[in-house]
Amino acid sequence: MKLRFITPATTAHVRQSTARTITVARKAGSLSFSAALVRELGLSTTGPGATLTEDADAPGSWYALFGSTEPAHDSRPLRGKSAEKDRKETQGLNFINTPLARAVLDSHQVPADTNRLVLQVLPEPVEFEGMVLWPLRVGAQPSAVPAKAATPAKVPATPAPTLPAKPEAPALSPVAAGPSRPVASIADASDARLEQRHEHLLESSKPLTGKEVAELSALRSELQKRGVLELASEPY
């Protein structure tokens, strides 16, 4: 894997909800983090900032990185519509990075006349070279919002195209979630995270508990459904 950070040298407006999302806006050059994501990850305007990075070995596979102070990562400070002490829990945060925003949209083949793209932040992070990265993927619902026409007269908005769901990004290695910890959401976790936990349970030297046996069965079913694990019986 080879990470590609979008910076000036190498080259939001979001409706808040309960979803963990990042909205990328072409015209504003902004990346907006939903209130739910800000709340769950403890993000604030006083932290080191955030950025996104792409896996150069798998174009279109993006990851969110928070708190990095490495200059090469070009993290940008998060900001809100009001001061941190006055910010409400229903308000998200954002930063401006026009080259990065356009790179994300172009990698997902979002049409030039479409202004925004909403990305879901998966619940299980992965670790690579000491960095904790949060995988992103295009939501199942249409997430591209047409850009407003630049003419004074009101014109009908171009219907937003339905973007195909991108396949699961190739897992980074090693996985940081830890093999000894149960998978929080099997359906949303990466292949690498499922395989890691599956192998840990199979190779455990201790007898499995009832919950672990049930989890192992669910992991095997999901891996078989994804084609990662062959459809064959395995010992517990």
For 114-131, the pLDDT digits (tens) are 999 999 999 999 999 999
d(CA 146, CA 25): 10
Instruction: Show which of 128, 146, 164 is a domain's final residue.
Output: 146
**CA torsion sign, 16 to 160 to 96 to 60?**
positive
Q: Which of the 8 DSSP states describes residue 76?
A: B
Same domain, 86 and 181: no
| Domain coverage including residue 98 | 3-146
pLDDT tens-digit series, residues 50-103: 999 999 999 999 999 999 999 999 999 999 876 656 656 668 999 999 999 999
Same domain, 132 and 220: no
Same domain, 98 and 18: yes
> Is residue 190 situated within a structural domain?
yes
pTM exceeding 0.75: no
pLDDT of amino acid 212: 86
Cis peptide bond prior to 174, omega within 30° of 0:
yes
Q: Are 81 and 94 in contact (CB under 8 A)?
A: no
Instruction: Show which of 125, 146, 167 is a domain's final residue.
Output: 146
Same domain, 132 and 208: no
Q: Look at residue 233 and tell me whether its pLDDT is greater than 70.
A: no
pLDDT tens-digit series, residues 149-200: 455 566 666 666 666 665 554 444 434 446 778 888 888 888 888 888 888 8
What domain count does the chain have? 2
What is the residue-wise DSSP string for 151-209? SSS--PPPPPP-PPPPPPPPPPSS-SS-TTSPPS-TTTS-HHHHHHHHHHHHT-SSPPP
